[in-house]
Amino acid sequence: MTKTIITCAVTGNLTSKEMHPGLPVTPKEIAEAALGAADAGASIVHLHVRDPETTKGSMEFALYEEMVGRIRDKNQDVILNLTTGEGGRFVPSKDDPKIAGENSTLCRPELRVSHVEKLKPEICTLDLNTMWSGQAAVINTPDNLKIMAERIYAAGVMPEIEIFNSSDMHLLNHFVKEGVIKTPVMVQMVLGVRFGAVANTETMMFLKSQLPEGSIWSAFGIGRMEYPMLAQSYVLGGHVRVGMEDNLHIKKGELCRDNAQLVEKAVDILENLGGTVASPSDARKILGL
């Protein structure tokens, strides 16, 4: 079995300070959390930015630029994976559902990848899901995804394809046949989001069976299923992800210290199962970066 890549998803856009007072939200806090996760064993850090005042997810380029700069000033080795998920949420207005209500962020696909084109990380996410999530509909139309994919590849960046349910996998295979997505594909299976794919063994095995040939894949569970799905992904030959975007507890009833602690536990589980954690150099070889 190949070495196992650990990705740490540092902050996301849905977890909140009310849920965990130590959640990183400023560029400085997110950068420091990413550096700590890298020191603990994560070879990839998956990064969002947040508005420092509202703490909500943001698309502000200056925040991305500051965060990436702070990480690169202290660590040139860890692989950066920037989100393109911001800008895809639609909240129907109560008075007229076809009109965007408060907290809608839906925008042109070019805006969702502009920070990737400027900063050129090695990896960025490309979410294929259109589904109900929290209090909003996430909308990723095939036409918009084609635009985003084309611009991501043109920037020399590898897209990590985010799969939230079986329909996303059908779309991925369609895109591969059309040449929209290049092979080998890097896939991240998201399990346990409400109304998405269930976080259990049967679901992970099914999604694995539908992967395009030669895919490099990873899977993770939301909340309390983070570590059970980590172990399951490893056993099935996949890579793994942890982090405060997905889960805020180190064990039942106990908040984690920080992202680094979540990574440390992931390292312990993988090594106890007989695995070897990939370094950033190992991860680049596995992914063909």
pLDDT digits (tens, 9 = 90+) for 87-132: 999 999 999 999 999 999 999 999 999 999 999 999 999 999 999 9
pLDDT band at 135 (very low <50, low <70, confident <90, very high): confident
pLDDT, residue 10, reads 98
Residues 7 and 47: their CA atoms lie apart, in Å, by: 10
Return the structure tokens found at 3: 């070495």
| DSSP 3-state percent helix, strand, coil across the chain (nearest 5) | 40, 20, 40
Residues 148 and 145: their CA atoms lie apart, in Å, by: 5
pLDDT band at 5 (very low <50, low <70, confident <90, very high): very high
The answer to whether residue 262 scores a pLDDT higher than 80 is yes
CATH fold, domain 6-287, is TIM Barrel (3.20.20)
Q: Are 122 and 79 a contacting pair, CB within 8 Å?
A: yes
Domain boundaries defined on the chain? 6-287
Does the reported pTM lie above 0.85? yes
Q: Which residue did the predictor score with more confidence, 133 or 26?
A: 26
pLDDT per residue as tens digits for the range 185-205: 999 999 999 999 999 999 999
pLDDT band at 1 (very low <50, low <70, confident <90, very high): low
pLDDT, residue 184, reads 96
pLDDT, residue 70, reads 98
Residues 6+ apart with CB under 8 A from 143: none
Name which of 23, 72, 73 is nearest 48 in CA terms: 23
Report the interhelical angle of 201-209 vs 166-178 (nearest 10°): 10
Residues 69 and 99: their CA atoms lie apart, in Å, by: 38
pLDDT per residue as tens digits for the range 81-98: 999 999 999 999 999 999
Number of helices (H) and strands (E), helices first, in the chain? 9, 15
Return the structure tokens found at 32: 């420091």
Amino acid, res. 44: I
The answer to whether residue 274 scores a pLDDT higher than 90 is yes
Strand bridging mode 89-90 / 136-138:
antiparallel
pLDDT band at 176 (very low <50, low <70, confident <90, very high): very high
Report the interhelical angle of 27-40 vs 259-272 (nearest 10°): 20
pLDDT per residue as tens digits for the range 221-251: 999 999 999 999 999 999 999 999 999 999 9
